[in-house]
Amino acid sequence: MSLETAVERITLDLDRPFTIARGTETTAENVIVRVVDEGGMAGIGAASPAERYGETAATVEAVLPELLSIVEDVGDPHALSAIERRMRDAVRDNPAARAAVSIALHDLVAKRLGVPLHRLWGLDPAATPRTSYTVGLDDPDEMADRARNAVESGYPILKVKLGTDRDRERLEAVRSAAPEATIRVDANEAWTPKEAVRKSQWLADLGVEFLEQPVPAENPEGLRFVYERSALPIAADESCVTVADVPRIADRCDIANLKLMKAGGLREARRMIATAHAHGLEVMIGCMIESNASIAAAAQLAPRCTYADLDGSLLVSGDPFEGIDLTEGRVHLETQDRPGTGVRE
């Protein structure tokens, strides 16, 4: 058996500048990985590197030759355990680069077996939660417009980015524009613990469902302080990067937000889900600004998660890939009968 591999960088244009507490982005660089078997069948994956976790498209491209040489050396796409272990030994960091290879291999394996990936895992498509739609930081009126448009377009769950001095004004504007919406708030590490506890009170009064990453990941005691006093359930994102983080956050949050680009691949993500459940945590499957080439893979795990935040590909234009139908926020796995992750060029 032999495998060929290829790498291609793509630039995704965001429909509008995307601002969170850390900064603003107008494009997202993704790196596409293809793994092709001797019959010409291709598995497709993608990396969406995040500088928050020390990666850029350049670092992904720098390590992919080493990772793909492991794939070619093993030569058998079904040897997922051996390949992913060797990749982790070779480059311990660089999770988005490893995720791209993991996704391409899983896509290829399921295609070779002729089944959608979630079917290979025995998951129930009907158990898939609806995805949220993200409203980035902007002027209150602009955020209200976006919230209204999202709800009118059929997205009933909003994830609202906060983390500035005008948080309350912004969220009140969003709530007025979307009185019936389920609203989740993500502060992206921007608050102090006391500030987060205080703000959780009026967030609860405005009917917010839960609060994500209120304080910096570097302050685990602060996260515990908020968790013990917050008026809302707490989700951990930046505090929950790899499977080793799950036991560390288990007594200081309610929900683990996992992403393929943090975990380093689908096998690691599945370990994280199992570990989180074993520690009594609920799981949200999240994403970066990503092509459908990787969102489609994350969607395959959604039936095992309570919450989904998979709108990364909805925020960009010019994605060369199609993936899972996310119309009205529904992760339509039940209509994905294409083998693999469901990605299509």
Binding residues for Mg ion, rule: CB under 5 A, are 186, 237
Which residue minimizes CB distance to Mg ion? 237
Q: What is the DSSP letter of 300?
A: T
A 10 A CB-CB count for 343 gives: 27
Cα 96 to the chain's mean position, in Å? 11
Could you give the residue ranges of the DSSP H alpha helices within the chain? 57-74, 80-90, 95-113, 117-120, 140-152, 167-177, 193-205, 220-229, 245-249, 260-263, 266-278, 292-299
Q: How far is the CB of 212 from Mg ion (least distance, A)?
A: 5
Q: Over 21-73, what HEC string results?
A: CCEEEEEEEEEEEEEECCCCCEEEEEECCCHHHCCCHHHHHHHHHHHHHHHHH
For Mg ion, give the closer residue by CB, 10 or 306: 306
Q: Which residues contact 267 (CB under 8 A, 6 or more apart)?
A: 80, 81, 84, 102
Q: How far is the CB of 237 from Mg ion (least distance, A)?
A: 4
For Mg ion, give the closer residue by CB, 123 or 295: 295
Q: How far is the CB of 344 from Mg ion (least distance, A)?
A: 28
Q: How far is the CB of 242 from Mg ion (least distance, A)?
A: 16
Q: How far is the CB of 213 from Mg ion (least distance, A)?
A: 5
Q: Is the dihedral of CA 99, 104, 105, 111 positive or negative?
A: positive
Active site residues: 161, 186, 212, 237, 259
For Mg ion, give the closer residue by CB, 57 or 261: 261
Rounded to whole angstroms, how far apart are CA atoms 320 and 9?
12
For Mg ion, give the closer residue by CB, 55 or 186: 186
For Mg ion, give the closer residue by CB, 209 or 237: 237
Q: What is the DSSP letter of 180?
A: T
Name residue 51's amino acid.
E
Contact 270, 246 (CB under 8 A): no
Q: Is the dihedral of CA 309, 217, 249, 251 positive or negative?
A: negative
